Structure formats: C-alpha cells, structure tokens
Structure 1
Amino acid sequence: MPIRRLSEDMVNRIAAGEVVERPASVVKELVENAIDAGATRIDVVTAGGGSTLIRVSDDGGGMGPDELALAVERHCTSKLDGGLDDIRSLGFRGEALAAIGAAARLSVTSRKRGTDSAFEISVEGGRVGDVKPAALSTGTRIEVRDLFFATPARLKFLKSERAESAAITDVVKRQAMAHPGIRFALNGSDRSSLDYPAATGGDAQLTRLGQIMGADFRSNSIAIDAGRQDTTLKGFAGVPTYSRANSLAQFLFVNGRPVRDKLLLGALRGAYADLMKRDRYPVAALFIDVDPSQVDVNVHPTKADVRFRDAGMVRGLIVGAIREAFARSGLRSSTTATGATIAAFRPERAAQSWAAPWRPTGGTSGNAALAPGFAEEVQAAFRDADRPSADIRHTEPEPLTMARPLGAARAQLHENYIVAQTGDGLVIVDQHAAHERLVYERLKRGLADHGIARQILLIPEIVDLASDDADRIVDRAAELAEFGLVVERFGPGAVAIHETPSMLGAMDAAGLVRDLAEEIAEWDKAVSLRDRLDRVASTMACHGSVRSGRRLKPEEMDALLREMEATPNASECNHGRPTYIELKLADIERLFGRR
C-alpha cells in the first residue's frame, strides 16, 4: 500500500487517544492545569462517571482572549520556559485541551486576574469556535460533555459508571495529597460528595493525609524526612503491623506529581522486607523532591512513570530513610491491633465465644457446668490460688520497672504469653515472636560488625534432602557460612553440617537446613545478596528463638522486655506479626462498663 499523509483531524484524534484514556485522565489533566495556574480552590463536578459531564473550576490566574485561542491548539503552553531538562510544572506538553476537544464537546471560560471581563471558547470534535465574551469571576471553568462522542469506539472500552467515578475520585485524592494548601471539592449526581479543606501550619501534610487516608493512618504512621545529594524524601510511612492486603494505599509523588513508578514501589517494598508478611502491603505517602534535571517525567503521555538519572541513589534513600525512621521511633504497636483486641471482647462477640463452653455435663438435673477443659483450668486456678498454676507464672513488679515502655512482667500465660503491667495499662507479649526479632537483629548486627561466631559440631550432622534441594544448599554455602552455618555436600542427596551459629545455642540444625532449602527455592534471581542474607538470618532467627511452651523465670521475662525496648523494630517479628499488644487502663475499664 502506498504511504500517505494522515489528515490533521486524524492526527488530532490519534494524539487524543494517547492523552485521554478515560474520564479520570481528563480530570487529571484539568486539575493539573488548575494547580499550575496558582489555584487555591478547585471544584470538580461529574455526571455519568465523567462520560456525560466533567466540570473543573478554579480561582487561579485565568487567561485572556488571546491566550484562550492558543490554549486549545496543540503544543501551545506557558510552562516550558526551561526546556525538557527543567520541568517545574505538572503540565508541559500543551496537549491536554486540544486532545480533549478532539474527542468531546469542550468549553473553556476564563477571566484573567486583574481584569473585569471573562471570555469563552468552544471546541466540538476538533472544530474550534470563536472567542466570545462570558460571565465569570477570576479563574477558569472548563466543561467537558459527551466524552468520546467523536471517537465512539472508545466508549466500548469504558468501565461501569461506578468504576469510572472511583477512578476520578482516586485522581482527585492523589492531587489533594500532594497539595494540602489547596481546597478540593468533588461533587456530582454519580457520586457522594467529597470536600478537603485547605490545610495550613506545620502539620498541614499530615492533616491532609488524615482527611483522605483516615484517622488511623495519623496514629499509625511515622514521619520520614531524609535527603541525599540534591534529593529530599518526606512523608509518612505506616508502622509494619498497620498493613493492607493490596498496594492501593501506597501513594508516591515526585516533585508534586503523583506517580506509579516500579522503582519506587519496589524500594518501598524493600524497606519493609523483613518487617512485614509477604502477602501484606505497607501503607505510605512519600514525597520526593529532586532537581528537575535529574529526573525525566517525559516518559509516557500519562506522566505516571518517571526515570531517575541515579535510580540506585533514590532507591537507597527510600529504603534507608524508612528503616532508620523505624529504628529511631522505638516501640510502636499498631493501634488497630488494640482495637481488634477490644472488639473481640464486645458483648455480642463475648456472648458467641462463651456460649459454647456452657452446657450440661451431668449431675443434678437442671444444673449447668463449664465444659471440662475450661472448668478444670478455672477450678485449679482458684483452688491453688496460693501458688502458681501450671499455666500461669506470677511475678511482683517493681515501681521503676513499671515506668518502662513495656512495664514489669507479672505473669506467663500458657507458657507463651507474658503479661506485663505498665503505669497506665497492660501489655501482652508473644515470647516466641519477640525473641525471634531479637535474635534476627543480633544476627544482622553480628554480620555487619565482626561476623558471626561459630560452634564446631563434634560429629557432623547429616541431613538427607532431595537432590535439587541439596544442590541449592551447596550453591549458597558461602552465604550461609557468613552466618556461621558451615555445610558441605555429603553424597548426591545429602549435606553435612559442620558448624552452626554459636548465638543460637542448641538447635535443630537439620530442621533449619530443610527450611532454608525451601526458602532458597522461592528466591527470585533478581533478589539481591543483601536481601538473600536477610532472609537467611530471618529463618535462622526463627529456629534460634525461645519456643512457645517454654516456661520462663521472672528475671528471664523482664530481660526479654528490656531487650525489646532496646532493639530496633521490636514491635513486630520478622514475619510481620505483632510481638505485643497494649491495652490502656481506659480501654480495660470500658470493657467492664466503668466508662
């Protein structure tokens, strides 16, 4: 077929398809223009999921009649003074209004600040009308009606009205997060209204995040403030025990621009690598400010992807800043864990939990008794009240110890849970989870400082494995040796263990090797050496920690609490589970109806 030049109308429609993917992308472009215009208030109204109507109004600088005529032409912009190497605005290509006008019925009404007249221009399916006088206060109002009427094939690919409305809501929320000083309002017949008042003061950013992400985020997040070279990172990261089942609560911004960049998402995941369960996702809002010459935002028409000149530095900044913030913050348990504990004791839940044990078990007709297992424990506890029961170990607190964050150990329940009394409540500690974190952090410190001390086995322990598992262990022998676990091949389907980490003491070395073989089988080739070593340390810590079912002496329980207070990230084990739950006295009193 011969090569021919496309018509101007066809060129515009193809270009529109790159910029205007769905109603949400229209809202994004128009809101970005309003922010660039210096608006302090932005109102968005939609109908039909945005396909019927999108109206964006702002109180920004506005445009005069000559600028209006240029604004709806392709590649006309006021934002590219410094060239593509110095982009300091959200919009810069000058494509948005022209692209929208090629696919919909567009009207732009604007009044330039300092003037007493407003003007309007209309574009319908690419046909530009004349500039006419209009009525409007300072700012700009843009209406988009019948989106994709000029390209009806696009309508078939739109999702439901509800889904499109949700996508628009997400766009507005992300822009509102990045610009807390601007008031955002979102209304329409296809949605419930949203209104985010402008936030001011030193905590404006956190105030806005609380408006959007909820009050729980404010009480379960840690401030991030770090920098390297010409790059700064600020924002808030949720504590590891405050997590989600998906990544929808991760908000990332570069120079005020919302992005969904794989590098940044991967760095965020890496920062939580040994603090969170693998099927959970962190909650965070992070804002990166970098010299425009060090980042390329002109990668894709949607501007959701960016490219950093020094990607490794940016990744290291995110991972290091978050981990340092967690280490600096000390013990931080999620308030949602406390809330879940209290909820479990609510009357309706308690009635369900207590109903089952109460049933007739014989004896006098009409009398009811506790189920045998529960009854025996309770009766034994009261009968032997003058001495510790088999499942409860009591200690007496010292006043000074109770003032510590985790208080003084009072008892051990079911040989796994330590109950400690604080000055204003109580703390319940999972001894295995807590000690697992402590051992893990010791292993990492030992590796970083002076290496892991080893203990030589008098008789090597032979572990039979599947041949491929044995191969994996032998292939990683050098990495395992760094943690004090020395192995070598012993035939086609076995390995011999010669040395183990001394800090783990007596342990099931064969079980550790089998678990490591399973872990290694799941490793991706892209996993870095540092991450691999951390995973080895995590598995070793699990095998070397205090096991559930071990009775602890009072001094051992208190020693565990004190070490938790001095250890970074001790609020959660290396599998992401909480190591303790705190109940304030006020919470306990509410359970008993005292408040």
Structure 2
Amino acid sequence: MVKELIENALDAGARRIEIATAGGGKNLIRVSDDGCGIPAGELPLAIRRHCTSKLGGGLEAIDTLGFRGEALPSIGSVARLSLKSRATGAAEAHEIAVDGGRPDGPRPTALSKGTLIEVRDLFHAVPARLKFLKSDRAEGAAITEIVRRIAIAFPEVRFELAGPDRSRTVFEAVPRADRLHRIDAVIGAEFGDNAIAIDAEREAVRLAGFAGLPTFNRGNGLAQFFYVNGRPVRDKMLLSALRGAYADVLAKDRHPIAVLFLSLDPALVDVNVHPAKADVRFRDPGLVRGLIVGAIRQAFAEAGLRSSTANAAGLMARFRPDGSVPAAPGSRRFEGFAPGGFAAPRQAAYDVGASPFHPLNGAGDAATLEHGDAEPAFGQDHANAPLQPPGAGTDSGTGKRDHPLGAAKAQFHGNFIVAETEDGIVIVDQHAAHERLVYEALKTALHGRPLPAQLLLIPEIVDLPEDDADRLAENAATFAQLGLGIERFGPGAVAVRETPSILGRVDCQRLIRDLADELAEFGTADTIRSRIDHVAATIACHGSVRSGRNLKPDEMNALLRDMETTPGSGQCNHGRPTYIELKLADIEKMFGRR
C-alpha cells in the first residue's frame, strides 16, 4: 500500500514526499507530496477501478511506475480512505472519501498544493485479512524497506518517514549525478569506499550503478537493489545473474552488495507479470544476464587491486588497549574479523617435488600449462631455511614502496607476509594469494580455447520433454566449446557423445537435466562452466604455496607483483581476503600519536 501511494506521488512529479504511519500502518498511513495534484473533476475517476491517466503512450511504452488504476479503489474497499488534492493552477483543493468501497464527495477542503492521502483502520471490515498481518514492528520495518528501495531510485526527491515513536528517517534530495551519496545514506557510509562503478551497454540495454567488492559482503541478500527503468524489482533472473558475476570470488554462504540500474526500451520488458510489479520478463533474458555478469567481472578486472576497508576496520577493532587479541577458534569458515573469525589451519611445509600440481610461474601461461612443463613460481622449497633480513632481496628496498602492495619486509608464522607501502603496511596471506594466482592462470588456459573432450564409448541417451530437448539442441555449439557433445535423438531425447575431460566421470543424466532446467528458467547454461571452474579451483588450492613454508624476500616480492597484475587477486577462490591494508594514520592512532 505504501509502495503504491509513493509511486503515485512520483508519477505526479513530486520532489518532496512525507510518509507517516501508526501501528505499523494498520491504524494510519499518511502520504503527502508536492506534485501536480488531481483536478477536482477527476477525483471520482481516481477511486474507480481500472481508471488511470498514465497510459498516454499506450501499453507498449509504459514510462510511469503505476498504470493499472487499481491501487486507490483497492485501498478504499478495505480501509477508510481520504484523498485531498489541489491541482497546479487550481484556486482551491478538493477532497473525496471512501469507506468500505462507498465514495463520499468531492467537496472543497484546505490544502496548499499537491496531494495528501490518509488510510485509516486497515481491514476494519475484513477481520480475516487483518489477523494475518504481522506485528506492528515487522510491518513498520517492511514500510521502511520499501521507502529505502524507492529512495535510491529517485535521489533528487526528498523522502521523510515518521513513525509512531516520533522517530524520523530523512533522505535529503541530492543531484542525480551524486546518486552515490543517496546510496550511502541508505546502505551505509562505507559502501562508497568499497564499491566499483558499473557503466556498460550492449544492444541498447544499459547497465549502470555500483557493485560492492567481493570482500565487502553480507550474510543475506537484503542489500541487493535492482531497478529496471527506474522501477524497483526483485526479479529472480537478475538476482541469479548477480550471483553468477560473483561466482568464483565469493563464499557460498555470503552475499554481494550491489545497486544496479537497467535502462532499455519499455517494449523489451514486461513489468505486468506480478501484481506488485516486483518481477519482470525480458524479451531477451540471455542478453541481460550476459550484460550483468560481463560488466561486473570486467569492472573488477579493470579496477585493479582493491581490498575492503571493512577488513582493516575489523582487524583494528580486534586490538585491545592492553595489547591482547582474542584467540580465534580453529574454524575454517571466514566470518569477518570479528571475534570468532577465520583462523588458518596449520599445515605441513610445502614440498614442490612431492606435489602433483606445481605452482605456476607468475600469472601463468596457457602454453606452458598445456605442455605440463611449468616451473614453480617460488623456486626451491625453503621450509627449513632461516628468514633473511628485510631488504636482502632486490625488490625489497624502499625504492619499491610505490607499488600498490609495497615491498616485502618480513614473514611471520610461515604464512603471512608484511609489506611496507608509501602510506602504511600490507599483510598478505601467502597461501590464499597464490591460490588465486594459480586459479586465474588455469581459467585463462581452460577458457581461452575449446576444452578437451572425452568420447563416450556408448553414447548416453537422456529422455526429456520436447521443449527442453529443443533448447539444448539450440545451444549445442556453445556446449561443444566446453567439451560437451550432444545431438538430438528423436523428438524427446538427446544423445550425449562427449563430456569435458577435466570433469572425469560425469553423471550425464543429471548434468543434462540441470542444463535443461537452467535454460528453461534463465535462458543460459552456466552449469558446465561452473563445474569446470570448481575443478580448476580445487587444483589451484592443492597446487599453491602452502601455509608454513618460509619464503625468501625475492619470492615474497614476486608474489606481491603478481597479485598486482592478476584480476580478482584481492580474495581467494573461497571468498576470503588475500590481504589487509593498514594506513599509517590508523597505526599512529593506536599509539596515541594522533
């Protein structure tokens, strides 16, 4: 109800919207705006079902948030509705009331400009509906969430939400060019420092907004905001595309933070799928999904090496005035740097000769990987060698502090590298960092050319509905690039003749059915690619330099330089941060120098 009333105000051109509630909206909802208002003669039409003034361009060009003409009559049928409005240029305002579907008015009233709508005693005549509403607190929180989502889409509009306890939530108007200030006001001030701007276009579909760094994440998906032509939506295809963009840089139980705006021809999207208009249907869902995934991944690659400020803040918070730091339990799950966070397990020293997966040299080379003659990235094993003094390596002098990750100065506990930068220090998890480097090299080698396929001695026949078989056949060329060879086998079946070699033994029945379900739901087939990436991540984890292995200064600096040139090296394959940066100013504060 609040959503519909706010959207009506925005369609009227309002620049100031005030919302007041009582009893979680059950007792009172008041929405006032300074928009163009409704002429007195049109007030009776405004409360009649299916009457609207917003379809001047027809159903093929809907450029307003509302268009069905159902909100006001529906509200008037289950509550006491009062509608006051003064149209631009009118000498006086008029009011019309609706109680249980019975209209009264219009008649003159007092109002300076715009429209004021009051809804009282919600469901007073329909107690069966009233008892299924949630608590006042829950309903009030839902109203606040609606206002927050709409406020992001319209930064030039001032929103004020007042509750029964006289508390107020105000989002001041800002220019559209300063949209990030409004986003920070809604999500949190730290978002802007941990987000990357997105601006991409493909075939007249434009994607803009901000995507949070992979290491800046949350335990739920409530901080994911999608807008299609300015309309807030919670579409499962868009949410799936966002998960796909973060697939190999985020832990499975963590969720990214993002605010993304899609702009396209209204004729290419159907917004009338659900009464709440939260779901949409695109004429070409594959194009939209590909744009979201590709734009976010490209933005991360072009942004270079960045780490979340929340990691450094969390680490600083763990320091105590007496110098004590609470011990973390031996959990392998990363939950941030609050007490009870991630603790790296103790592992044996890394033995290059005993490992079947030799670490790659630097960022990796596809030809070297293909012929299996890669050299270890860090030379020989130095598990028993004493740590050399800082500055012993050629890159560890102060002249290399201008690199983003600085110059390596020391290694402690056989796993962490300390580097000095121009304005602080950096602490690097050597295993997590090198794991990412090896993984990116493997992906480059695997996806840079068609993947080797394993020919099945006897093709496996998978029975499917005819529609699913048609969709699979249409994507057969894409599957062939990934090492999966399929072809039609009658009207309702496909024959699997080849499977990707890297996957080993494959349950063809399950794989094909998963692909068919994904194509039917999203119009894309990422299942094979995600499985291949998972195998590459496993190889990278076992083939990277181990915790507990001592490194020479030259080796440490080589690792830092490779991190600076490898996309996604700010986090490992499991979504954990590979490094934390502490600014000199923060360190000085700990010692009372500032």
TM range (shorter): 0.7 to 0.9
Supply the AA of the counterpart residue of 1:448. H
Residues 199 and 92 of structure 1: CA distance in aligned 2, closer, same or farther (over 3 Å) = same
Q: How does 1:106-121 map to 2 (within 5 A)?
A: 106-121=81-96
Residues 448 and 585 of structure 1: CA distance in aligned 2, closer, same or farther (over 3 Å) = same
Q: How does 1:232-247 map to 2 (within 5 A)?
A: 232-247=206-221
C-alpha separation in 2, matches of 1:561 and 1:132: 75
Residues 229 and 404 of structure 1: CA distance in aligned 2, closer, same or farther (over 3 Å) = same
Residues 317 and 282 of structure 1: CA distance in aligned 2, closer, same or farther (over 3 Å) = same
Match for residue 175 of structure 2? 200
C-alpha separation in 1, matches of 2:433 and 2:29: 53
Residues 272 and 36 of structure 1: CA distance in aligned 2, closer, same or farther (over 3 Å) = same
1:299 and 1:305 in contact (8 A); partners too: yes
Q: 1:297-333 CA deviation, whole Å, 9 max, x = no partner?
A: 0111110110000000000010001000100101110
2:482 and 2:529 in contact (8 A); partners too: no
Match for residue 264 of structure 2? 290
Residue 578 of structure 1 deviates from its aligned partner by 0.3
C-alpha separation in 1, matches of 2:585 and 2:266: 51
C-alpha separation in 2, matches of 1:295 and 1:391: 64
Residue 446 of structure 1 deviates from its aligned partner by 1.2
C-alpha separation in 2, matches of 1:233 and 1:191: 39
Residue 90 of structure 1 deviates from its aligned partner by 0.2
Residues 336 and 349 of structure 1: CA distance in aligned 2, closer, same or farther (over 3 Å) = farther
Match for residue 274 of structure 1? 248
Unaligned runs of 5+ in 1: 1-25, 355-387, 454-478, 484-499, 502-511
Match for residue 467 of structure 2? none
Residue 390 of structure 1 deviates from its aligned partner by 7.5
Supply the AA of the counterpart residue of 1:52. N
Residues 192 and 348 of structure 1: CA distance in aligned 2, closer, same or farther (over 3 Å) = farther
1:416 and 1:432 in contact (8 A); partners too: yes
Supply the AA of the counterpart residue of 1:409. A
Whether 2:277 is the aligned partner of 1:303: answer yes
Residues 97 and 408 of structure 1: CA distance in aligned 2, closer, same or farther (over 3 Å) = same
Residue 82 of structure 1 deviates from its aligned partner by 2.2
Match for residue 126 of structure 2? 151
Residue 273 of structure 1 deviates from its aligned partner by 0.2
2:387 and 2:551 in contact (8 A); partners too: no
1:392 and 1:415 in contact (8 A); partners too: no
Match for residue 367 of structure 1? none
Whether 2:389 is the aligned partner of 1:394: answer yes
Residue 593 of structure 1 deviates from its aligned partner by 1.5
Match for residue 224 of structure 2? 250
Match for residue 91 of structure 1? 66
Residues 389 and 542 of structure 1: CA distance in aligned 2, closer, same or farther (over 3 Å) = closer
Match for residue 160 of structure 1? 135
Whether 2:539 is the aligned partner of 1:540: answer yes
Match for residue 221 of structure 1? 195
C-alpha separation in 2, matches of 1:216 and 1:555: 36
Match for residue 412 of structure 2? 413
Q: How does 1:48-197 map to 2 (within 5 A)?
A: 48-190=23-165, 192-197=167-172
Secondary structure, counterpart of 2:210 in structure 1: strand
Residue 413 of structure 1 deviates from its aligned partner by 1.1
Secondary structure, counterpart of 1:99 in structure 2: helix
Whether 2:254 is the aligned partner of 1:259: answer no
RMSD (Å) for aligned C-alpha atoms: 2.7
Residue 351 of structure 1 deviates from its aligned partner by 7.0
The share of aligned pairs that are identical, in percent, is 60
Residues 132 and 342 of structure 1: CA distance in aligned 2, closer, same or farther (over 3 Å) = same
1:409 and 1:554 in contact (8 A); partners too: yes
Residue 447 of structure 1 deviates from its aligned partner by 1.8
TM-score between both structures, scaled by the size of structure 2:
0.77
Match for residue 2 of structure 2? 27
C-alpha separation in 2, matches of 1:352 and 1:178: 42
Residue 391 of structure 1 deviates from its aligned partner by 7.5
C-alpha separation in 2, matches of 1:567 and 1:435: 11
Is the helix fraction higher in 1 or 2? 1
C-alpha separation in 2, matches of 1:37 and 1:576: 45
Residues 196 and 560 of structure 1: CA distance in aligned 2, closer, same or farther (over 3 Å) = same
Residue 534 of structure 1 deviates from its aligned partner by 1.4
Residue 339 of structure 1 deviates from its aligned partner by 0.3
Task: Count residues in correspondence.
Answer: 482
Mean CA deviation greater in 44-53 or 77-86: 77-86
- Flag the structure with larger Rg: 1
Supply the AA of the counterpart residue of 1:437. R
1:392 and 1:413 in contact (8 A); partners too: no
Residue 190 of structure 1 deviates from its aligned partner by 4.8
Q: 1:351-371 CA deviation, whole Å, 9 max, x = no partner?
A: 7669xxxxxxxxxxxxxxxxx
Residues 590 and 575 of structure 1: CA distance in aligned 2, closer, same or farther (over 3 Å) = same
Secondary structure, counterpart of 2:56 in structure 1: coil
Secondary structure, counterpart of 1:429 in structure 2: strand
2:271 and 2:281 in contact (8 A); partners too: yes
2:514 and 2:527 in contact (8 A); partners too: no
Supply the AA of the counterpart residue of 1:292. P
Unaligned runs of 5+ in 2: 329-382, 453-478, 484-500, 519-525
Supply the AA of the counterpart residue of 1:49. G
Whether 2:435 is the aligned partner of 1:445: answer no
Residues 129 and 239 of structure 1: CA distance in aligned 2, closer, same or farther (over 3 Å) = same
Match for residue 334 of structure 1? 308
Whether 2:378 is the aligned partner of 1:403: answer no
TM-score between both structures, scaled by the size of structure 1:
0.77
Residue 85 of structure 1 deviates from its aligned partner by 1.8
Match for residue 558 of structure 1? 557
C-alpha separation in 1, matches of 2:262 and 2:268: 12
Residues 405 and 63 of structure 1: CA distance in aligned 2, closer, same or farther (over 3 Å) = same
C-alpha separation in 1, matches of 2:318 and 2:430: 22
Residue 482 of structure 1 deviates from its aligned partner by 7.8
Residue 587 of structure 1 deviates from its aligned partner by 1.1
2:45 and 2:51 in contact (8 A); partners too: yes
Residue 191 of structure 1 deviates from its aligned partner by 6.6
2:318 and 2:325 in contact (8 A); partners too: no
Supply the AA of the counterpart residue of 1:267. A
Residues 321 and 352 of structure 1: CA distance in aligned 2, closer, same or farther (over 3 Å) = closer
Residue 450 of structure 1 deviates from its aligned partner by 4.6
Residue 536 of structure 1 deviates from its aligned partner by 1.5
C-alpha separation in 2, matches of 1:580 and 1:93: 52
Mean CA deviation greater in 442-451 or 81-90: 442-451
2:212 and 2:257 in contact (8 A); partners too: yes
Match for residue 380 of structure 1? none
Q: How does 1:356-395 map to 2 (within 5 A)?
A: 392-395=387-390
Q: 1:193-235 CA deviation, whole Å, 9 max, x = no partner?
A: 1000001162x21010011111111111111111111211111
Supply the AA of the counterpart residue of 1:276. L
Secondary structure, counterpart of 1:215 in structure 2: coil
